[in-house]
Structure 1
Amino acid sequence: MECVIMYVHVLLDGQPTDILVGHVEVEHADEIYAATKSAFAGLGESCQDWLQKTVAMGADGAAVNLGRKGGVSTKLQEEGGKHIFPFHCMPHRLELALLSAQKDSPWVGNVYNLLHLIWKNYHFSSKSRRELKRLGVELDVSVNNSSGVKGTRWLPHVSRTLDVLLKQGKEGTLEDAGQYTAVHAHMDHLAASSKNADIAGRAKHVKETMEDGSFLAF
């Protein structure tokens, strides 16, 4: 489900406060501005003058948000006034900067690609997921599905995927049978037994990369 999520940053009793206005499902990008107005309308008469009180708008850098021709910020200025200041939100700018930096770092790029390949293997194969879970039972490990590392929320995706993959064993060390060990053992199995050349090759690459000590240093 694609949703527009809106927060307002206001002074409440003299204190800067962030308040969730709401989230509205949208089917197309050109519905974002209408969805924004719909969320505020749902607050009732007490917020009917929200547009006149708006002084700035922050969003990711997509053209649908900050584009000069038809972007949400442009529509806000047209209806509310040119004084409304649009800005590219800092978390998204930070993510773009780190994405750019990782392209210049083979080491970080290798970790990123490894996480993506592991996600791809289990996301598109229910058979592989079942096998990993069975292996987890044998190793007494609670196996969780990792998330993809691509998308606009790059940092949270990577952080969450690392948390899942580097899940520690009961004694609190990676040498115990954590999910990392389960995934490594399963990739070893796939590399040796899969009749699909693409899966076997991907599993071999993942296994060899996981055996590289530099990954654990990450």
Structure 2
Amino acid sequence: MIACDCPVCTSPDKKDNRLRSSIMVQSQNTTLVVDSGPDFRYQMLRARVKHLDAIVFTHSHKDHVAGLDDVRAFNFFSQQPMQVFASEPTQEVIIREFPYAFYESKYPGVPDIQLNTIGLEPFMAGDIPVTPVMVWHLKMPVLGFRFGRFTYITDANHIEESELEKIKGTEVLVLNALRKEKHISHYSLGEAIEVAKGLQVQQCYLTHMSHQMGRHADVEAELPNGINLAYDGLVIKV
């Protein structure tokens, strides 16, 4: 956190040095990213990503969409529009935040974006099958996504039973846990653990943690088997 001198923000452990929540999903033929927050440019540079086919959005909050402008580099090298998959409400925010990308007469070099509307029905992003899972971020509907045996959910504090059914059978679940104390719109650590246990997943990684969670090593030592804190650069193969 900017200007913070707490033990987490000053920790020498690289696992305590976290950027905005996002993941990259790859198959043999397709590379996609879920969300493009304010750190998108640096995340792509840090991971040395040379090609990106699509961005799939969970919701429209600034910490998940603000970096979209930087797809222009991928446009330049691929000479293709970036395929963006988002709900209609999220698309409305994207168009409002980046209007110059959607003008009929575009300034040279602006992002080239192809919007694809998604709801709760499964869809394909390249050759990657994606199943949306609707969760609640207080009163805001947010989309999580299941990719085969892997499910990614962020910015949630409630999941209805019908949507939990979509997650069952997942081998690896990534789920948000903001801090140990209860929060109005995010799962707390204890709440996220209960969700993971209820779904009986083999492995759960917790993400979207604030510095209020505590140091990575300290929290890891308290977690039950099969539940771990995620960290920047974590690679999962399923």
> TM-score with structure 1 length normalisation?
0.29
Larger strand proportion of the pair:
2
Specify which structure has the bigger relative contact order, considering alpha-carbon pairs within 8 angstroms and separated by 6 or more residues.
Answer: 2
Larger helix proportion of the pair:
1
- Larger C-alpha radius of gyration, 1 or 2? 1
> TM-score with structure 2 length normalisation?
0.28
